[in-house]
Structure 1
C-alpha cells in the first residue's frame, strides 16, 4: 500500500471516528439527557441546560464538532477518484445539514435560554424546539456516520484489490 493510500485511509478513519463521536453526543441527548431533564422542574431544567451549554464548549468537543466536517471534506478530496467517493460526499452533505442545524437553531436557542429571566417561559420557548432540532441533527449525523462506514468498507476492499490483484484471465 502506498503512503498516499495509507494517509487517505487514516483520514477516512479519523473522519469516521469523529463523526461517530458527534452522532453519539446528539443521540445521547435525544434518548437520555433530554428525557431525563423533562422530568425536572423549570428552574432545574434551565439551570442544567445552561450548565451543559457552558461546559460543552471545550477543546475535546470542539475537536470532534469541527474535526468531523473538516476530516470528511479532506477525505472526500483525497478519495475523489475512488469508488467510495459518493458515500463520503454524501456523509459530508448530511453532516453539513446537522452542522447548519446546530448553528441556525440549537445555538440561538441556547443563547436565548442563557439570557432568560423566567424559567417557565424560557423552558416553554426552548424545550420542544431544541429537542426537535437535536433529533434532526442526530438523524443526519447518524446518516453521515453510516455513509462514512460504508465508504470505509468500500475503500478497504479497493485497497485489498490493489494490494493483491487477481491474475488476468482468472
Structure 2
C-alpha cells in the first residue's frame, strides 16, 4: 500500500509561482514568435514592394517603436519568465518539465543572439543614416541596410522562437500532470 502512495519519494514543495511563470513564458515567447513571423510573412514582403524612401522611413520608425514598454515586456519578459520558470520547476522537482522549459530558454537565447548579433546592427546602420529629411540617396541607404541578410536573420530567429514555443507545450502538459507526493509519517 505504501508503494501505491509513493513511499520512498521525497515530497517537494509546490510553488505558487510555477504555473504563472510558465504561462507568462508561453505568452511572451508566443508574442515574440508572432512578431518575428509577422515580419517574415507580411511586413518585409510588403516592404519589398515600396520605394526606397518609404522603406527607410518605415523601418526607422519601427526600430524607434521597439523601445516601447509593450514590446520590451515581450522581448525581455520571454527571457526572464522562461528562465525563472525553468529554475522554479527544477527546484520543485518537476525535472521533465524543467528540461523542456530549459530547451525553450536555450532556443530563445539563440533568437536573442541572432537579434543582437545581426538584426540590431543592421537596424543601427539604418538609423545612422539620420533624419530622412537629410538623406540624399535613399537607394544607397536601403542597399547598405542589406534587406536579404536582415530577412535571413529574421527567418532564423523566427524559427528559433517557434521551436521555443513548441518546447513549452510538453512542459505545460508535464507540469499540469505533475504530482507532488505529500510526506507521510512513515
Q: If the length of structure 2 is used for normalisation, what is the TM-score? A: 0.81
Aligned residue in 1 for 2:42: 32
Q: If the length of structure 1 is used for normalisation, what is the TM-score? A: 0.88
Give yes or no for the alignment of 1:146 onto 2:157: no
Write the distance in 2 (CA, Å) between the matches of 1:121 and 1:104: 23
SS at match of 1:146: helix
Aligned residue in 1 for 2:175: 155
Q: Tell me which of 91, 101, 112 is aligned to 1:88.
A: 101
Q: Tell me which of 25, 40, 43 is aligned to 2:53.
A: 43
Higher relative helix content: 1
Question: How far does residue 162 in structure 1 lie from its aligned partner after superposition?
Answer: 4.5
Question: How far does residue 154 in structure 1 lie from its aligned partner after superposition?
Answer: 1.3
Q: Tell me which of 83, 91, 103 is aligned to 1:73.
A: 83
Question: How far does residue 5 in structure 1 lie from its aligned partner after superposition?
Answer: 3.6
Give the total of aligned pairs.
160
Question: How far does residue 121 in structure 1 lie from its aligned partner after superposition?
Answer: 2.0
Aligned residue in 1 for 2:9: none
Q: Tell me which of 59, 62, 82 is aligned to 1:52.
A: 62
Give yes or no for the alignment of 1:123 onto 2:142: yes
- Runs of 4 or more, structure 1, over 4 Å off, are none
Gaps of 5+ in 2: 1-11, 130-134, 182-186
Aligned residue in 2 for 1:166: none
Give yes or no for the alignment of 1:106 onto 2:119: yes
Question: How far does residue 85 in structure 1 lie from its aligned partner after superposition?
Answer: 1.5
Gaps of 5+ in 1: 164-170
